[in-house]
Structures are given as C-alpha cells and as structure tokens.
C-alpha cells in the first residue's frame, strides 16, 4: 500500500515590527496599572454629552484618529525644517512645535477616553494601548522641552530633543496603527457582518415579551429582537462601538441600551441616540408569518 504525504501550513512569518507590537501585548505586568487608570477614566467619563463629544458620536466615527493628524503633521514638518530649512526656518519650526503641543492635549484626552472603553474586552489591547499612550506622552514632553530650549536660544539642544520626540512619536504611531488595523479598535464592529437580504425565519412571535430583548441567530450572525409598544423590532445584536451584545441590554422608550458602555440605539432604525457609539446599528425589516418572526436587512443597512 502506497503511503500518503500530508503537508501542513506553517504560521506565516510576520514583520518584525508587528511581532514587537504583539510582544508588548503579552506583557502581563501592565494589566494592573493600566486597568486602574482605565477604570478611573471610565468613572470620570460616564455616558453623557462630554463622553459623546470625546468619542466622536456627533461625527459618525472616532474623533481621536482625526485629531492625531495635527500634532503628527506639525511636529514632522518642524523636524523637516530643522534638517533642511536652515537658519531662516527656525521661527517657523518653533511655531509648528508650539501648535503641535497645543493640539496634543485634546488628542490625548480623546485617545484616553477611547482606550478606557477597550480594556475589558482584550488584554493585549489594554497593554498595547497603555504603551502607545506612554510613547505619545514622551513625544509631547520631548517636543515641549524642545520648544522651551529653542525659546532660551539653545537651538541645537532643541533640535536634538525634537529628533528624540519624533522617534517616540513614530513608536506610538506604529502601536496606534497596530491597534486600529490589526486589533480593529475603533472600527464599526458590524462592518463586515453578512446579514440576510431575503426573508429569514427567527423565533416564534409568542417568545417575544413586551419590553424585553431576545437574541436570535440568522446565519452566522446574531440579531436582537424586541417587542416595544406592541411592535416587533430587529437590530444587529453586536454593538457597533465595542461589540457588546445588545440582547443583554435594556429596552425602553423605543430604544435599546448596550450593557457594555451605555450606547443607546433607536429600535426603529438603529440610529445612535447616545454614544459613545458613532456608527448606527444595522436595522432589519420584520414580518410575522404563521406565528414566526421573519427578518431581512433593511434597505438603509444593506
């Protein structure tokens, strides 16, 4: 009998910088202090207008990535002027650094708010986010020191500190990119879900109680079914903010509240009533046939 040969795929080798970020995500010693800080931030920034403003609920997506463009752009431009601009570019470089320092403050505040909402879900995100914050804080301190040195006439020292700040900024930026593009932090959690476009049966109508949420599976995704005011509504169960299950939340006044961070969505169309969520929840058309609730994704959510 002729033997058979079995080949198995090995793990693909990832870039070294990716591996470095993953190693940061494995540092368990960061858990205690990181979660202590995050819990304090969550305690100070509960659901409400301030949290919504910092989260970017009014914008439709996270505010923090948009704000990072300012300190990154101004500080990088200042460094380029330091290297290539000559003596005449010194005043412009100094002003750019000053603008970056000012812009870094709201950028850090929004980033801290976002990070505090991620720490309960993924330990590696908590750790990488903490080091990301430390690197960016170091960049702020170095550029602030660079600005102070320049104003005292110590230009060479200011340039050196600026170059060090750029290194810290690059490290923080890499970790921030890792969080966004590898860990999907800040991404609409339903963006890649495939919802049924044809009428699909779920549960018996009799199983739905007034004012209560019920989870049902439709293909590979879960949906929330809720009876409110005698009418049946259906939304995606996964919260667009950080993936909490809406079926574990509360239903009242035509809305459902996510139990994870308090985002409120309107049952009728999935619109965000209160953040920190920015993206609306996918909503479904609903009908009842022979005592069974059928759903299909609504035209606006398809």
In a domain, 1, yes or no: no
Do 128 and 246 reside in the same domain of the chain?
no
pLDDT tens profile 17-34: 889 999 999 999 999 999
Kindly state whether residues 224 and 97 are assigned to the same domain: no
Summarised one tens digit per residue, pLDDT across range 156-203 is 999 999 999 999 999 999 999 999 999 888 889 998 899 999 999 999
The predicted pLDDT at position 219 comes to: 83
pLDDT > 70? residue 134? yes
Query: Does the residue 190 lie in any domain?
Result: no
pLDDT band for position 132 (cuts 50, 70, 90) = very high
Q: Are residues 160 and 219 in the same domain?
A: no
Q: Which of 181, 209, 236 is the last residue of a domain?
A: 181
Regarding whether 239 and 97 lie in a shared domain, the answer is: no
Cα–Cα separations (whole angstroms), residue 153 to 49, 91, 106, 147, 149: 44, 11, 29, 10, 6
Q: Any idea which residue has 């190693």 for tokens? A: 23
Question: Which has the closest alpha carbon to 20: 179, 200, 175?
Answer: 175
Looking at the fold, whether 36 and 128 belong to one and the same domain comes out as yes
Per residue in 51-74, pLDDT (tens digit) is 999 999 999 999 999 999 999 999
The three-class DSSP label of residue 268 is: coil
Q: How confident is the model at residue 1 (pLDDT cuts 50, 70, 90)?
A: very low
Residues 170 and 33 placed together within one structural domain of the fold: yes
CB-CB neighbours of 165 under 10 Å: 26
Number of domains in the chain: 2
Q: Kindly give the residue spans of alpha helices, DSSP state H, lying in the chain.
A: 16-25, 31-44, 49-55, 64-84, 90-116, 123-151, 155-181
Using the structure block, give the residue that is written with the tokens 């602030």. Answer: 144
Q: Are 26 and 119 members of one domain? A: yes
249 and 139 in a single domain? The answer is no
Token digits of residue 257: 């509240």
CATH number at residue 252: 2.102.10.10
Q: Whole-angstrom Cα distance, residue 270 to residue 257? A: 11
Q: Are 137 and 60 in contact (CB under 8 A)?
A: no
Given a contact cutoff of 8 angstroms between Cβ atoms, the answer to whether 267 and 280 are in contact is no
Range 181-215 burial, b when 16+ CB lie within 10 A, else e: eebebbbbbbeebebbeeebebeeeeebeeeebbe
Residues 110 and 70 occupy one common structural domain: yes
Pair (287, 173) in one structural domain? no
Distance of alpha carbon 39 from alpha carbon 291, whole angstroms: 46
CA torsion, ordered 243, 249, 253, 254, to nearest 10 deg: 50
Residues 155 and 232 grouped into a single domain: no
Nearest alpha-carbon partner for 284 in 187, 220, 218: 218
- The three-point CA angle 25-65-38 to 5° equals 50
Confidence of residue 11 (pLDDT cuts 50, 70, 90): low
The Cα–Cα gap between 16 and 68 comes to 25
Domain that holds residue 230: 200-297
pLDDT tens readout for residues 103-131: 999 999 999 999 998 866 678 999 999 99
Q: Are 146 and 90 in contact (CB under 8 A)?
A: no
Please tell me the pTM assigned to this model: 0.84
- Could you tell me if 235 and 224 are in contact, meaning their C-beta atoms sit under 8 angstroms apart? yes
Name the nearest CA neighbour of 91 among 141, 32, 158, 145.
158
Show which of 154, 181, 208 is a domain's final residue: 181
- pLDDT digits over 217-246, tens only? 998 899 999 999 889 999 999 999 989 999
């Amino acid at each position: 009998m002729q033997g058979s040969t079995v080949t198995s795929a090995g793990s693909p080798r990832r870039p070294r910088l990716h591996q470095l970020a993953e190693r940061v995500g494995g540092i368990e010693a960061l858990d205690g202090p990181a979660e202590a800080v995050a819990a304090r931030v969550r305690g100070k920034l509960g659901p409400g207008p301030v949290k919504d403003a910092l989260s970017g609920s009014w914008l439709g997506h996270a505010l923090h990535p948009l704000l990072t463009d300012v300190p990154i752009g101004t500080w990088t431009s200042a460094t380029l002027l330091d290297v290539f601009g000559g003596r005449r570019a010194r005043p412009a470089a100094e002003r750019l650094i000053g603008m970056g320092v000012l812009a870094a403050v709201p950028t850090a505040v929004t980033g801290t708010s976002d990070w505090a909402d991620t720490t309960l879900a993924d330990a590696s995100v908590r750790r990488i986010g903490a080091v990301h914050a430390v690197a960016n804080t170091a960049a702020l301190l170095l550029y602030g020191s660079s600005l102070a040195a320049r104003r005292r006439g110590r230009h060479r020292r200011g340039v050196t500190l600026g170059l060090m700040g750029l290194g810290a900024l690059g490290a923080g930026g890499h970790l921030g990119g890792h969080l966004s593009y590898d860990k999907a932090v800040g991404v609409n959690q339903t963006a890649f879900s495939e919802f049924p476009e044809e009428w699909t049966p779920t549960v018996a109508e009799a199983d739905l109680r007034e004012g209560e949420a019920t989870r049902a599976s439709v293909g590979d995704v879960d949906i929330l079914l809720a009876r409110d005011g005698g009418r049946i509504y259906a939304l995606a169960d996964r919260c667009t903010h950080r993936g909490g299950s809406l079926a574990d939340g509360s239903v009242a006044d035509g809305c459902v509240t996510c139990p994870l961070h308090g985002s409120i969505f309107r049952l009728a169309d999935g619109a965000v009533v209160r953040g920190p969520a920015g993206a609306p929840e996918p909503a479904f058309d609903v009908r009842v046939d022979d005592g069974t609730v059928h759903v299909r994704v609504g035209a606006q959510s398809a």
